[in-house]
Structure 1
């Protein structure tokens, strides 16, 4: 449901995985915030820049900083790379500038910059509601899959475009019979919970996404992986399949490469990621 401020209410699950960008931040003698490296052309639209500016303004910091970013996570892939970098910027500058802010204070600042940033300051699987900033950490990790096979088509998806054109497409096959509360209480496993309601909108706007989605489902089916394990991350373009073992993840990766090599007219990345276990 769309709110008056333009944001949408949602229910979502955030999972931390081991795929990172690289960020270097150092103090400089001038009062400026400098951005170097990848995506520096975004200037004041860059989330790292916004995070640094917000912190600097809030605490009237007199020194500046230089932020250098090296992208490893594809942009526009629905993986929260920009939000993760903004969260890292807040954490690093809090220490570099000796501000000694609490995690709750950093979350408050981050939530005003981007809805996904508070999750990356939590560093643990969380169930998100509202616009995504209302977070409830899950109680245990026992029902989570340990590995994720990510299929990332080279398709840049704009989140605003997807939400602006969002329509709810009912898919009875993927409709969950379990409530979000049942998942939070860990009464059911990750595989049988949920769906991504943005998936059909993204596939309709970007038809090539359907080809990649069906290829992932076909490969998963050949390995007897349930269809609920395959879905889209965020607003896309990343598709993923959650699996319990590294050997099954490797088998799925091989199957995908065999199906896609020479068949896809769009470049793609396949990567096996592991759940980050934090307390």
Structure 2
């Protein structure tokens, strides 16, 4: 099976409270984008009595410190730390028969980017392997959640309104769009970003006010009224990201000055994106922001 493990962007991200289990509740709209990692997954049945095997063959197209970061968990490093291998380990006991699995991965999605990275890879792998298992349908999301908070989203076919720690998913219609993704030469630690929010411990009943998106926001997402959403669906991590890396604040301004109708940090960062009215305007803007931020890597995407 050849496919693309798509990245995602967050349109708005709010963290209403810290849960008693130490994790944080989130409220966000996750949107899959065209930019991602090409993956070829080959699964072959083995004879009864043989042991299932896992093989990863990867091409590392990442730059800067991220190149080495992926190497550490690739087949050239410690494969047991790789999220795909962890997913395989989780599924082994559910396999109907022993299998040989080979994954050819071209790695472009950056770790510490807030756009899905390894979670996207794991989600695509699980979708391919679930039919080889006797895992009940209702247990697929819990198993995906045990691998990573964002993994359940990557089992879905569309954009979702996301709550819980990322596993409560409600499909939502989002208008098509064109964007530019900026991949900074630095990362932002998810743990330190959450720490910076200093969210107090609250009981779940205190979250009801955050449970649903207002009708006007849903309608604006459906029709692509990004200007209306600019100051209404914001990423709560931005204030910390701008303090930690002021360049991101300049980048936001650069996106808007180049014609973006919506710009935001994705997840806890460090990737930042801008949405444009059309492919033509996006491509023109790409030249502008590339000249203005020569040390930044930019990728175009659609959704």
Same fold by TM-score, threshold 0.5 exceeded? yes
Tell me the residue number matched to 1:47: 83
TM-score under structure 1 length normalisation: 0.79
1:167 touches 1:201 (CA, 8 Å); kept in 2? no
2:26 touches 2:165 (CA, 8 Å); kept in 1? yes
1:31 touches 1:62 (CA, 8 Å); kept in 2? yes
Tell me the residue number matched to 1:10: 26
Asked if 1:213 is matched to 2:249, the reply is yes
Query: How far is 1:15 from its partner?
Result: 0.4
**In structure 1, which of residues 10, 16, 26 is the aligned counterpart of residue 42 of structure 2?**
26
In the alignment, structure 2 segments of 5+ residues that lack a partner are: 1-16, 61-72, 200-211
Q: Map Cα deviations across residues 65-88 of structure 1 (whole Å, 9 max, x no partner).
A: 233422011222111021110011
2:26 touches 2:163 (CA, 8 Å); kept in 1? yes
Structure 1: distance between partners of 2:248 and 2:26: 25
Structure 2: distance between partners of 1:149 and 1:93: 32
Structure 2: distance between partners of 1:93 and 1:222: 43
Distance 1:122-1:4 versus aligned 2 partners, 3 A rule: same
Query: How far is 1:234 from its partner?
Result: 0.5
In the alignment, structure 1 segments of 5+ residues that lack a partner are: 169-178, 262-266
1:230 touches 1:239 (CA, 8 Å); kept in 2? yes
Query: C-alpha root-mean-square deviation of aligned residues, in Å?
Result: 2.6
Asked if 1:203 is matched to 2:214, the reply is no
Q: Map Cα deviations across residues 227-278 of structure 1 (whole Å, 9 max, x no partner).
A: xx111000111101112211121122121022123xxxxx321111000xxx
Structure 1: distance between partners of 2:103 and 2:184: 28
Tell me the residue number matched to 1:253: 286
Query: How far is 1:160 from its partner?
Result: 2.2
Asked if 1:146 is matched to 2:177, the reply is yes
Matched length: 249
Distance 1:53-1:217 versus aligned 2 partners, 3 A rule: same
Structure 2: distance between partners of 1:20 and 1:121: 15
SS of the aligned residue for 1:21 comes to strand
| Mean CA deviation greater in 113-122 or 23-32 | 23-32
SS of the aligned residue for 2:219 comes to coil
